[in-house]
């Protein structure tokens, strides 16, 4: 699995539950369409965490880069219901940072043949 991570803060005046509901609608739509496998939204607890990371952290799991590309292409149409849900999340957040990680070792990894 590949895991697309994101960290964000809320814009002034946005409630935490407003954001959580909008995020769940958006990700739920992507999941129903088969564009993502699962998702999770977490929030920093007790102020613990590196200062350069935002208050909210989300993780979106996809089977592989092809599925992630399908998700990006689906959202990039900027049309229909998904556009409203995408905007519904983007309009609420600021200071967004992204990262892409994978399960390790990779399922295709062969051991003993490495050259470095």
Q: Is 23 exposed, middle or buried (0-12, 13-18, 19+ CB in 10 A)?
A: buried
pLDDT tens profile 7-59: 999 999 999 999 999 999 999 999 999 999 999 999 999 989 998 999 999 99
pTM of the model: 0.92
Number of residues assigned to the chain? 116
Q: Would you say 97 and 7 are in contact if contact means Cβ atoms under 8 Å apart?
A: yes
Sheet strands (E) in 2-43: 2-10, 38-43
Q: What does the CA dihedral 94, 2, 66, 62 come to, rounded to 10 degrees?
A: -80
Q: Both tokens of residue 65?
A: 């880069």
**At residue 116, does pLDDT exceed 90?**
no
According to DSSP, residue 105 is labeled: S
Question: 54-103, pLDDT tens digit by residue?
Answer: 999 999 999 999 999 999 999 999 999 999 999 999 999 999 999 999 99
User: Strand 93-102 vs strand 38-43: parallel, antiparallel, or unpaired?
Assistant: unpaired
**How confident is the model at residue 98, as a pLDDT?**
97
């Amino acid at each position: 699995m590949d895991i697309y991570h994101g960290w964000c803060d809320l814009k002034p005046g946005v409630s935490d539950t407003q954001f959580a509901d909008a995020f769940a609608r958006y990700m739920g739509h992507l999941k129903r369409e088969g564009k993502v496998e699962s998702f999770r939204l977490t929030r920093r607890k007790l102020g613990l965490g590196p200062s350069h990371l935002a208050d909210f952290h989300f993780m979106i799991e996809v089977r592989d880069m092809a599925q992630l590309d399908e998700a990006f292409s689906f959202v990039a149409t900027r049309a229909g219901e998904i556009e409203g849900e995408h905007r519904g999340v983007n309009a609420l957040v600021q200071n967004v940072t992204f990262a892409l990680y994978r399960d390790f070792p990779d399922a295709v990894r062969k051991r003993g043949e490495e050259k470095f």
